[in-house]
Amino acid sequence: MKLYSYWRSTTSYRLRIALNLKQVDHDIIAVNLLKGEQKSAAYRAINPMAGVPSLQLDDGTILTQSMAILDYLDATIKSAPFVNDDPLRAAKIRAASHIIACDIHPVNNLRVGARLKAMGHDQNELENWMRHWMQEGFAAFQTLIEKDNRFCFGDAPSLADICLIPQLYNAHRWRMDLGPFVRLLDIEKNCLALEAFQKAMPEHQSDAPFETPIKKAPTRA
């Protein structure tokens, strides 16, 4: 498979984690969002919404929309399930995941920030905007997940963790006060102790403008 990805894109980060959890061999094709490569005619032919990620399957089929691709991977590869077989539990996992995928990410996307700036807002206002939506979304997310398991739902990463960890990366990037979200930070520590998550981290991507060696997974006390 081929994953069209940008190192700092949180939706690409979701898929990098997922492909690692499912142990799918894949090549990464970097699309530089800062250079606007996603808007080129060649890339729009792959993804008409001009965003990453896109996933090309071995038979050449191209899939778009990270949540749809995650569903496809989960339906076709049974190991490391992303949602539970129980429909009620699956709905709860999806509800938490959609807070990030539908309520936080779209309003904080690069193109939304660019539009806000074009309307006269400065960088400081843009960062406050992004922190606002993360604050609201994380507060709701934290009430929907389980209280004391290693991950959002149970003892293995689910779709909710796959969505949460990239969004937390953005929260750190934009210097959000995560004091009220200790449960989320605890889950982040548990996820980033796993190789599938570590290998997916933005700073470990070949298109990142700097290189950091993959740290050894910390052992859990």
**Among 4, 7, 10, 142, which residue interacts with ligand GSH (rule: CB under 6 A)?**
10
Q: Where do the DSSP E strands lie in 17-121?
A: 27-30, 54-56, 62-64
Among 20-28, 55-63, 109-117, 210-218, which window interacts with ligand GSH (CB under 6 A)? 109-117
**Among 52, 104, 130, 163, which residue interacts with ligand GSH (rule: CB under 6 A)?**
52
Q: How far is the CB of 171 from ligand GSH (least distance, A)?
A: 14
Is 51 a residue that touches ligand GSH (CB under 6 A)?
A: yes
Among 7-15, 124-132, 138-146, 211-219, which window interacts with ligand GSH (CB under 6 A)? 7-15
**Which residues, 6 or more positions from 22, have their beta carbon under 8 angstroms from its beta carbon?**
73, 77, 79, 80
Closest CB to ligand GSH among 165 and 190?
Answer: 165
Closest CB to ligand GSH among 145 and 162?
Answer: 162
Q: How far apart are CA 133 and CA 104, in angstroms?
A: 6
Sign of the alpha-carbon torsion through 44, 47, 49, 52:
negative
The region, left, alpha or beta by phi > 0 then psi within -120 to 50, assigned to residue 154 is: left
Q: How far apart are CA 18 and CA 161, in angstroms?
A: 10
Q: How far is the CB of 79 from ligand GSH (least distance, A)?
A: 23
**Among 109, 131, 203, 204, which residue interacts with ligand GSH (rule: CB under 6 A)?**
109
Is 98 a residue that touches ligand GSH (CB under 6 A)?
A: no
Paired sense of beta strands 54-56 and 27-30, if any = unpaired
The two three-digit tokens of residue 162, written as one number: 């796959």
Q: Which residues would be at the binding site for ligand GSH (CB under 6 A)?
A: 9-11, 33, 38, 51-53, 65-67, 109-111
